[in-house]
Chain A
């Protein structure tokens, strides 16, 4: 159980275009999902916390107008990279958290999406 999928696994896009990445919890409902960015040989950088039915909470330094997050249902969150530039190339990982409320629970991670902007 607790499987999280991401689509696509790899995407190449041209500079200036927008790319949407989907994150789905397949066998559980996730009130909260998280979006991370991982640079080569670096740890995960939390970009934003996505809460179902409400606006996402962005970490300091993350442009909310560039990285649009929508969490329209309890099983789906999307990250749209708008007007992508080569520096947006990275590995994007989502996670979904079991349970709800203010109790910390483990996160279950998707397999990641490799974005390359040319």
Chain B
């Protein structure tokens, strides 16, 4: 079965600093990869997705993620964090040819002035 690991439970960055959230997956083939963001008490919003093609994908709100097959990773990045980016971020993986998606445990981002 596929699995997703987000090794950082909680990250604190200063506003304006760069950000990288880590995500590693375990799956035998190329998975479908997603990053979602959740604000407190809210549902999840899709930031970006990777299905195939260019391994560097651009998303909304200035986020990007890079798929690295050799490292089984799909890390999320943003060059300059804004206070409004404080939220919980979930990496998710879907199997090709099947609809179910597995979510990581999430990384809570705190942004300090």
Give A6 to B90 CA distance when docked, in angstroms.
21
Q: Are B43 and A49 in contact (CB under 8 A)?
A: no
Give A103 to B95 CA distance when docked, in angstroms.
9
Q: Are A97 and B99 in contact (CB under 8 A)?
A: yes
Give A42 to B95 CA distance when docked, in angstroms.
22
**Can you list 28 A-B contacts with CB-CB less than 8 angstroms, sorted by A residue number?**
A6-B43, A32-B99, A34-B101, A42-B105, A43-B90, A43-B104, A43-B106, A44-B44, A44-B103, A46-B102, A49-B100, A91-B41, A93-B44, A95-B43, A97-B99, A102-B98, A102-B99, A104-B32, A104-B94, A104-B97, A104-B98, A104-B99, A104-B101, A106-B34, A106-B49, A109-B43, A112-B43, A114-B41
What's the nearest-Cβ distance from chain B to residue A115, in Å? 13
User: Mostly helix, strand, loop or mixed at chain A's interface?
Assistant: strand
Tell me the A32-88 residues at the B interface (CB within 8 Å).
Answer: 32, 34, 42-44, 46, 49
Interface size on B, as a range, is 20 to 34
Give A97 to B34 CA distance when docked, in angstroms.
13
| Total interface residues in chain A, CB < 8 Å | 25
Give A105 to B43 CA distance when docked, in angstroms.
18
Q: Are A111 and B43 in contact (CB under 8 A)?
A: yes
Q: Are A4 and B98 in contact (CB under 8 A)?
A: no
Q: Which residue of B lies closest to A102 (CB)?
A: B97
A89 close to B (CB within 8 Å) = no
